[in-house]
């Protein structure tokens, strides 16, 4: 066959498939256990080295932005859960902050603290998933993954306690949170925080000094800091490259300026650094949750708002530090009950711009590890 | 735990080359003052004409004609240090398109928001930022895909989220979905699966 015709009649317009130069075009995804979702990477190989790679996405595109234009602001909250479904609390928070900026809503103190607790617990859960699936991509056949998930289940139990959901919570809404914490939450959360450092030590015992893990991840997919900034990369990938940019410090939203925590920063910018940054971020998030529990005040958990929000005309852009990067919500209001334009600045989508230059020159096996270290969630990439 | 690995040490200072001018990143809990924005505005006014400004308490909005897009963006990046292109988006006001770019500095909480108006035609054109910000590649493709704005100079401007053969640009306010659009036309079996204009998808359960 001189030409490979794809079943969907889409041809890759970036490079021709049939050439005599000895290269092989291999398709990776969209159905593949290591693509972290329905993501497709078409690779042009010379032997086992990647010469070019074209990411193809859009398999999970659900037109969230267009749908938001025909829903009220409150009806748009469940959409936010389903963007980065592994860190739904942070997505909720970004949207809530954007609507609050747009409409000038004040949030009660207790709600702010509850939000921080939920978002940081979600960060731990998301990083546990990220570390577990990175270990999977490297080839540890689900052992660290299950350790990470064993502890992630405890966090999901806490979330089920407050919102009734395990994955897509719609808990943090503009004006506060949807309902106050039940009584059994704080003791259960403290119990989790007591066990968490030992659990993270367990993951590290398995991976951090493991010579196979080091051999697979050291100096693989090195992203220099200037390149990272030019590629608009944010999140742990940017910090692993040596740029100490964390939105919780650079642009403290909510009440993050009241907590003491550090920003882990890498040196080399390889896959190993990204793994270390995520491990350390889990520890820092546990610190933040502990401080928030100690400072948790009483009071209402949500502001009283009209039944249908009609923010004044204008626009607002709010960003949060998601576990994957910076999630931004740009909302434009025309005075009506629906947003005129709701735009999601998705970190996984923008971080993927840097995938292609990083992967070229590496072997196929490395490309999977690099993709795993980017920690993408297709719900966010495609919206 | 590997104590020898200094990347785990949170008290380690940030490495060299961390920021645009050797800055060690943001100082904790202290966003840069809006005076930085006033200085940025003065600099932009000095270097370019035809700009209009709007100073708000959390951002500086710069509106400019599209011909000035590259110059203004380059000034913000090179002279003013707004290196992070956080977000590129487009809004369809029914009489025009508007491009909205958010630029951030690494050490400041206050962005410069660039706004450019484009005529409401079938394929409005705007210069692409990809030569200077490679991270604009996917964002501009998305704007092209969903809004139909053509970015001149983009290395690979084609649809990114929708199927390659999709007709129309859905985020436009006047977009009408063809109810008989089928994603995989080669799988259509007439009367059984996949609709043809004038029929329902199965051809059998017609509501008459």
**Model pTM score:** 0.86
Sheet holding A49-56, edge to edge: A24-28, A40-46, A49-56
Q: Which residues of B touch A267 (CB under 8 A)?
A: 6-7, 15
Contact A243 B134 (CB under 8 A): no
Residue B169 resides in a domain: no
Residue B174 resides in a domain: no
CATH of the domain at B109: 3.30.460.80
Look over chain B and give the mean of its residue pLDDT values, rounded to a whole number.
75
Instruction: Render pLDDT for A330-356 as a digit per residue (tens, 0 to 9).
Output: 999 998 899 999 999 999 999 999 999
Residue B36 resides in a domain: yes
Instruction: Render pLDDT for B97-135 as a digit per residue (tens, 0 to 9).
Output: 999 999 998 887 788 899 999 999 888 999 999 889 998
Query: How many angstroms separate the CA of residue B106 from the nearest CA in chain A?
Result: 6
Contact A232 B84 (CB under 8 A): yes
Query: How many angstroms separate the CA of residue B55 from the nearest CA in chain A?
Result: 14
Answer yes or no: is pLDDT of B4 > 80.
no
Look over chain A and give the mean of its residue pLDDT values, rounded to a whole number.
89
Range of the domain at B63: 3-161
Residue B179 resides in a domain: no
Residue B175 resides in a domain: no
Write down the pLDDT at residue A17.
Answer: 61
Comparing alpha-carbon positions, the chain A residue that sits nearest to B56 is A316
Q: What is the DSSP letter of A106?
A: -
Q: Which residues of A touch B31 (CB under 8 A)?
A: 250-252
Of A8, A65, A242, the CB nearest to B184: A8
Instruction: Render pLDDT for A62-104 as a digit per residue (tens, 0 to 9).
Output: 999 999 999 999 999 999 999 999 999 999 999 999 999 998 8
**Tokens in use for A251?**
């642009």
**Does A198 lie at the interface with B, CB-CB under 8 angstroms?**
no
What is the tally of structural domains in chain B?
Answer: 1
| CA A295 to each of CA A84, A115, A156, A290, B204: distance values in angstroms, whole numbers, following the listed order | 29, 13, 23, 9, 64
ipTM score here? 0.87
Residue B72 resides in a domain: yes
| Greatest extent of chain A over all pairs of C-alpha atoms, in Å | 72
Residue B203 resides in a domain: no
Instruction: Give the DSSP letter string of A293-332.
Output: HHH---S-SB----SS--PPSEEEEEEEEETTEEEEEEEE
Tokens 């642009």 belong to: A251
Write down the pLDDT at residue B60.
Answer: 86
Cα A320 to Cα A336: distance, rounded to the nearest angstrom: 26
> What percentage of chain A reaches a pLDDT higher than 90?
71
């Amino acid at each position: 066959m001189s030409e490979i015709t794809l079943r969907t009649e889409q041809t890759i317009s970036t490079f021709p498939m049939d050439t005599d130069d000895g290269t092989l075009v291999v398709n990776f995804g969209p159905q593949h256990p290591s693509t972290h979702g329905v993501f497709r990477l078409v690779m042009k190989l010379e032997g086992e080295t990647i010469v070019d790679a074209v990411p193809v996405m859009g398999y999970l595109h659900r037109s969230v932005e267009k749908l938001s234009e025909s829903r009220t602001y409150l009806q748009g909250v469940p959409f936010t859960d389903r963007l980065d479904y592994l860190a739904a609390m942070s997505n909720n928070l970004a949207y809530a902050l954007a609507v609050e900026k747009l409409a000038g809503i004040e949030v009660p103190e207790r709600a702010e603290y509850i939000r921080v607790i939920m978002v940081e617990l979600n960060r731990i859960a998301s990083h546990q998933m990220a570390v577990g699936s990175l270990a999977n991509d490297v080839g540890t056949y689900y052992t660290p993954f299950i350790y990470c998930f064993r502890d992630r289940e405890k966090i999901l139990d806490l979330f089920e306690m407050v919102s009734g959901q395990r994955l897509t919570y719609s808990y943090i809404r503009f004006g506060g949170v949807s309902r106050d914490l039940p009584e059994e939450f704080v003791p259960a959360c403290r119990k989790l925080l007591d066990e968490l450092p030992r659990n993270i030590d367990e993951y590290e015992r398995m991976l951090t000094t493991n010579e196979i893990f080091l051999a697979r991840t050291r100096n693989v997919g090195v992203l220099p800091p200037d390149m990272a900034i030019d590629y608009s990369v944010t999140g742990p990938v940017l910090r692993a490259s040596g740029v100490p940019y964390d939105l919780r410090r650079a642009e403290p939203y909510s009440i993050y300026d009241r907590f003491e925590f550090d920003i882990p920063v890498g040196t080399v910018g390889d896959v190993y650094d990204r793994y270390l940054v995520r491990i350390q971020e889990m520890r820092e998030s546990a610190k933040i949750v502990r401080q928030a529990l100690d400072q948790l005040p009483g009071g209402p958990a949500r502001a009283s708002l009209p039944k249908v929000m009609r923010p004044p005309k204008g626009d607002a852009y709010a960003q949060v530090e998601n576990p994957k990067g910076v999630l931004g919500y740009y909302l434009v209001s025309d005075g009506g009950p629906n947003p005129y334009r709701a735009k999601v600045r998705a970190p996984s989508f923008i971080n993927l711009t840097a995938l292609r230059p990083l992967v070229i020159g590496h072997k196929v096996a490395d490309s999977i590890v690099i993709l795993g270290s980017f920690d993408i969630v297709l719900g966010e990439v495609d919206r | 735990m590997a104590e020898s690995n200094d990347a785990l040490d949170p008290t380690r200072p940030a490495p060299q080359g961390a920021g645009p001018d050797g800055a060690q990143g943001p100082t904790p809990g202290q966003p840069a003052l809006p005076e930085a924005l006033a200085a940025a505005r003065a600099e932009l006014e000095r270097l370019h004409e035809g700009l209009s400004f709007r100073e708000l308490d959390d951002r500086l909005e710069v509106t400019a004609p599209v011909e000035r897009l590259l110059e203004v963006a380059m000034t913000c990046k090179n002279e003013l240090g707004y290196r992070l292109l956080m977000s590129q988006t487009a809004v369809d006001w029914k009489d025009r398109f508007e491009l909205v770019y958010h630029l951030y500095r690494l050490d400041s909480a206050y962005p410069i928001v660039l706004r450019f108006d484009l005529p409401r035609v079938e394929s409005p054109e705007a210069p692409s930022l990809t030569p200077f910000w490679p991270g604009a590649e996917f964002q501009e493709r998305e704007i092209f895909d969903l809004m139909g704005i053509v970015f001149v100079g983009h290395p690979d401007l084609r649809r990114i989220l929708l199927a390659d053969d999709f007709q129309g640009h859905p985020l436009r306010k006047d977009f009408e979905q063809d109810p008989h659009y089928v994603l995989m036309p080669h799988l259509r079996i007439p009367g059984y699966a996949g609709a043809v204009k004038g029929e329902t998808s199965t051809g059998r359960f017609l509501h008459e």
